[in-house]
Structure formats: structure tokens, C-alpha cells
Structure 1
């Protein structure tokens, strides 16, 4: 697996930032690891974090929508593994579209850390497991926290300029 193009995840001071983590329970071995790694990254960065569980990926958007009303950012985590039917495509497309709409409607960072993979091994390799090539729980949390900080900078700059 290539990490080409992956930015360096610099530590951020997320003091004063509240973030919710919404995680599906399907593929529990993967999702539990993603959830734990995201929570640990938030705590390491100084954010206030709360974790919530939903049954599957299709339940994530509605929980994210509610969380976005109360938190500065939301991280969505799950794992959808391709099967032999088009269901995989329907789930992945609808969840991604839902999360994007929530982010735009709420003007809050909604980090999509939902793995969409062909095999369980691919999911393990992205889950932050020992020896894994990637750590999508940490990456999604880092993206959410950084985006909160960037949005605050944009608002501050606009305010300074009277915009």
C-alpha cells in the first residue's frame, strides 16, 4: 500500500475543541481499533472527545448530523467490505453523500474515516493495527481537529478585515 501523498500529521493543540466520534459496530475488530485510535489522538491533542456507536455504516450519517449540532467537529468511522452484490456501492455512495451534505450544511468538519475495502486484510492494513501501513482513525481525527483550527483562522481573518 502506498502512502505517497500522505501529509505529515503534525501535532496540534486542540484545547477547547469538542469532537464526537461516531463508529459503526459491523466488522468490530476493525471498527474498535479505528475508534480507540481516534479517541487516543483527540486526547493526545487536548480535545474534549465523546465516542458513540451505531449499528452500521448507514446509521452513521443521522448520528453525525445530530452530533454536528453540539460538537465543533465529528469523526465518522466504519468499515464496509465489498461483497458479491451491488449493496457495497449503495452503502458507500449514500454514506459519503450524506456526510458531505452534513459538513456543508453545518459548516463543521465531518471527517470520513469509513474504510471502503475489498478484503478484510485491506481493512486491517488501514486500521492502525501493529505493522499496518495506515492508521485511518488517527488520520481522520487529525484532519477534523486541523480543519476546526483552519476554519477558526478563516473566521478570524475575515473578522479582522471586516468581511
Structure 2
């Protein structure tokens, strides 16, 4: 990926990328994740960092933020987007059926709110908010979702970089 602007200063990052409207954002990514099922959800962060490194982004370009649950992620994403310091934001959570059928509402609300943040701020927001149909607290499910979240982190990194590259092309064509 080529730098959109060069000559960094102490206050300016080494690279910036254009948003959909041509404004520039720092080549920093915010990764926001919930603490429910932390040992599983953190695998998305690990996978994200692994793939970002493969794509040429060092770990220090990704800043991590934690929320108590999934429901708090959109407000964090919106607050972070409005600072103008992040080229993109990723939200990650595991929303499980606790037996009261609230999980579908929570997951749908979180994903819709993340889309609203993205559209309102013109900062790309990526979701690794997953809601399995059947999650049980036994080793087989925990192991499966542990691995699955790592894969989803890789996928989110590729989507993030691809989107930033697309914005760079759009800006260059304008």
C-alpha cells in the first residue's frame, strides 16, 4: 500500500488514508471488543494483528479498547470515529443465547448501530460481532469458537485494508 501523504512529523503518523469524502485519517485502527467470553473474543484481536502484520501494518498501528459487553461497542466506535484519529474501527463480541432470547435483539442492534456509525462518520467500521445459534459452555464449543474468532480477525483485517486501499484509489481518481 502506498502512502497517501508523506513527510511525517512527531504529531503526524507515517501514513494517512483518505475517507470516502477525500479527508485524510491517520493510518491507525481502533479495535473495540467486549469482555464477555473474553478468552474467545480476544482471539479476533490476535487474528487481526497477525493478518495486519502480514499486510504491512505493525501492531502499534492498532489501538485496543475494551467494553463490558457488545451493547457498548457502537458508542465507543462512534466516539473513536469522531476523534478523526482512526482510519477504521473494528468491533468484536460473542453474543450468546442466555436462555431468554435477548441475544438476537442485542446482536442485531449492535450491528445496525455499527453501520450507522460508519455512515454518519465516514469512518469504515467492521464487525466481528458473532451470534451462534447454539453455544454451550463445553470444551468442544469453546475450542471451535476460539479458533473461529481467530479466523474472523484475519478476515476483518483483510476487509479493513481492502477498504482503505479502495478509498485511496477513489481519492486518487478524484
Question: TM-score normalised by the shorter chain: which range applies?
Answer: 0.7 to 0.9
The RMSD of aligned alpha carbons is 1.8
Contact 2:95 2:129 in 1 (8 A): yes
Q: Cα offset for 1:40?
A: 2.7
> Is residue 96 from structure 1 mapped to residue 111 from structure 2 by the alignment?
yes
2:159 to 128, 143, 147: 143
From 12, 35, 51, the counterpart of 1:41: 51
Report the 3-state secondary structure (helix = DSSP H, G, I; strand = E; otherwise coil) of the residue aligned with 2:77.
helix
Q: SS at the partner of 1:152?
A: helix
Displaced runs of 4 or more, over 6 A: none
CA gap of 1:14–1:50, structure 2 versus 1, over 3 A, is: farther
Q: How many residues align?
A: 140
Matches within 5 A, 1:31-70: 31-47=41-57, 48-69=61-82, 70=85
Selected match of 1:84 from 99, 109, 116: 99
Segment of structure 1 superposing worse, 99-108 or 80-89: 80-89
In structure 1, runs of 5+ residues without a counterpart are 1-12, 129-134
CA distance in 2, matches of 1:14, 1:59: 34
Of the two, which has the highest radius of gyration? 2
Gaps of 5+ in 2: 4-14, 16-26
Assess if the C-alpha contact under 8 Å between 1:115 and 1:123 holds in 2.
Answer: no
TM-score (norm: length of structure 2) = 0.73
TM-score, normalised via structure 1 length: 0.78
Q: Are 1:152 and 2:162 counterparts?
A: no
